[in-house]
Amino acid sequence: MTAAAALAAALALAGCSDSGSAAGSGKAELSVSGPYMPQPVSADMAAGFLTITNKGGAEDELTSVTSEVAGQVTMHSTMGGAMRQKSSFAVPAHGQLVFKSGGNHLMFEKLRRKPKQGQTVTVKITFAKSGPLTVEMPVKSATYNPSTGH
């Protein structure tokens, strides 16, 4: 009788905490900040950078990037100076996925036009669970540094 009561209490507690986490922060809440594209020097390829912040309690995964300006957008990581194409990037719960100069970056290939400083490029980024987000990515100078702002 005592053991059964204790078990029932334990099950009730487990059930309670499960529904609590599902109702609370059980999914990813994504936002994008600081997107920019340095004006490309090449006529057929450009780079892009942005930060994806996840305020939610579940991880998500960036699975594809497309843009009106490029025939193809690929995702790269940089390890020890060498870049490697990746098919997805994890966005950790309560964390960030950062694309920045010298690190992870987007590569816009087969450019349909050459983006110029002052223009904006529309980029669609798609996540495994949260679906697509549309980002307006401003084109900055070829040597733009986000930490100094010019």
- CB closer to Cu ion, 83 vs 93: 83
Between CA 13 and CA 66 the distance in angstroms is: 45
Q: Does 77 bind Cu ion (CB under 5 A)?
A: no
Q: Does 133 bind Cu ion (CB under 5 A)?
A: no
- CB closer to Cu ion, 47 vs 133: 47
Between CA 39 and CA 115 the distance in angstroms is: 6
> Exposed, middle or buried by CB within 10 Å (0-12, 13-18, 19+), for 82?
exposed
Q: How many C-alpha atoms does 114 have within 13 Å on its Cβ side?
A: 7
Between CA 54 and CA 65 the distance in angstroms is: 18
Tell me the per-residue interface mask from 103 to 132 with Cu ion, x by CB under 5 A, - otherwise. ----x-------------------------
Interface region with Cu ion, contact rule CB under 5 A, candidates 20-28, 79-87, 116-124, 129-137: 79-87
Q: Does 27 bind Cu ion (CB under 5 A)?
A: no
Among 76, 94, 100, 124, binds Cu ion (CB under 5 A): 76
Which residues are near Cu ion by CB under 5 A? 76, 83, 107
